[in-house]
Amino acid sequence: MARVQQGDADAFGELYDRHALRAFRVARAICHDAGRAEDAVQDGFLAIWTSRAHFDPRFGSFKSWSTSIVRNRAIDSNRAAAVRPPMQPAETRGEEAAAASKSVQDQVVARSETEAMLASLRELPGTQSEVIALAFFGELSHSEIAALLALPSGTVKGRMRLGLEKLRKQMGIPT
């Protein structure tokens, strides 16, 4: 990493070769989509290259630093996909438009609810919003989240419970 911080692209290539597969596995577990996971890894390693001067081994290993960057890119990808669904083939769009299965009003309400939920999620403490985002957007189980974050399963469940209680109150959902 010291060579990378000096701008050595060959050293960066070596780091990428050494860590990209693990980063892809983390992103794939969160995204559940190979294409979005690949994009998250690419975006993450681009961010690593551009912010290489900020890496400080006193605060952790490159492995943990790079994994957290890629994990955050994967979570961002899930958030973007939740707000903006993927494009469909033209013939499918035409059929849906003809059938008018969802009115524009329904779409606006659904988008508004998603945006309200994301806004409420941002107001939670980081530890709670992280586990909820991994569960909701990443579709990970409690045990998968615990393994990913290197936390006891009970801690993940507690953070999830507290965070969901706060979300319900913020969004006015009765318990």
The answer on 118 and 156 residing in a single domain is yes
Average pLDDT rounded to a whole number, residues 121-128: 81
Whether pLDDT at 10 is above 90: yes
The answer on 81 and 25 residing in a single domain is yes
Average pLDDT rounded to a whole number, residues 7-24: 91
Which of 76-85, 113-122, 125-134 is modeled with the greatest confidence?
A: 125-134
The answer on 111 and 73 residing in a single domain is no
Band of residue 39 on the pLDDT scale cut at 50, 70, 90: very high
The answer on 111 and 74 residing in a single domain is no
Whether pLDDT at 93 is above 90: no
The answer on 131 and 57 residing in a single domain is no
Asked if the structure places residue 47 within a domain, the reply is yes
Asked if the structure places residue 45 within a domain, the reply is yes
Average pLDDT rounded to a whole number, residues 121-125: 80
The answer on 61 and 35 residing in a single domain is yes
Band of residue 96 on the pLDDT scale cut at 50, 70, 90: low
Number of structural domains (the chain) is 2
pLDDT more than 70, % of the chain: 78
The answer on 115 and 68 residing in a single domain is no
The answer on 2 and 70 residing in a single domain is yes
Domain boundary (37, 61, 86) is at: 86
Whether pLDDT at 36 is above 70: yes
The answer on 82 and 2 residing in a single domain is yes
Asked if the structure places residue 124 within a domain, the reply is yes
The answer on 130 and 55 residing in a single domain is no
pLDDT at 111: 65
Whether pLDDT at 20 is above 70: yes
pLDDT at 107: 65
The answer on 69 and 109 residing in a single domain is no
Residue predicted with more confidence, 99 or 142: 142
Domain boundary (54, 86, 118) is at: 86
Average pLDDT rounded to a whole number, residues 92-106: 56
Q: Write out the DSSP string of the chain.
A: -HHHHTT-HHHHHHHHHHHHHHHHHHHHHHHS-HHHHHHHHHHHHHHHHHTGGG--GGG--HHHHHHHHHHHHHHHHHHHHHHSPPP--HHHHHHHHHHT-S-HHHHHHHHHHHHHHHHHHHHS-HHHHHHHHHHHTS---HHHHHHHHT--HHHHHHHHHHHHHHHHHHHT---
Across the chain, mean pLDDT equals: 80
The answer on 166 and 108 residing in a single domain is yes
pLDDT digits (tens, 9 = 90+) for 145-161: 888 788 888 898 998 89
Average pLDDT rounded to a whole number, residues 56-65: 86
Q: Which domain holds residue 157?
A: 102-175
Asked if the structure places residue 31 within a domain, the reply is yes
pLDDT at 110: 61
